[in-house]
Amino acid sequence: MFRQSIILATFATGLFGMAGPALSADAAACKGIFDGTCSACHEMADWQGKNTAELTAMIHDIVAGKTKHKKALKLSDTEIADVAAFITSGK
């Protein structure tokens, strides 16, 4: 199981690394989702040092109910990826 997680994380990191420019455009458009959903409790600095793949997995687990969170989140896979890309862009 641990090995599968590492393989998946490696794949996801590579995938996001190749799609960086495309995600940054979506990330800029995603500011409204961050402001409306996340910023009431979180600041951009809360995730300093995390990469897009880590944040995508973290947010996905929150949306899926696997990770405890203050409030339930309802985001599509695209919105999750966009929010993670927006946060890591630092904009």
Residues 43-70 have pLDDT tens digits of 988 988 999 999 999 999 999 999 999 9
Structural domain including 58 reads 2-89
pLDDT the model gives residue 56: 94
Q: Are 56 and 16 in contact (CB under 8 A)?
A: yes
Count of domains forming the chain: 1
pTM of this structure: 0.66
- Alpha-carbon span 1 to 45, nearest angstrom: 31
Handedness of CA 57, 70, 35, 45 (dihedral sign): negative
Of the two residues 18 and 48, the one the predictor is more confident about is 48
Provide the residue type at 78 as one letter: T
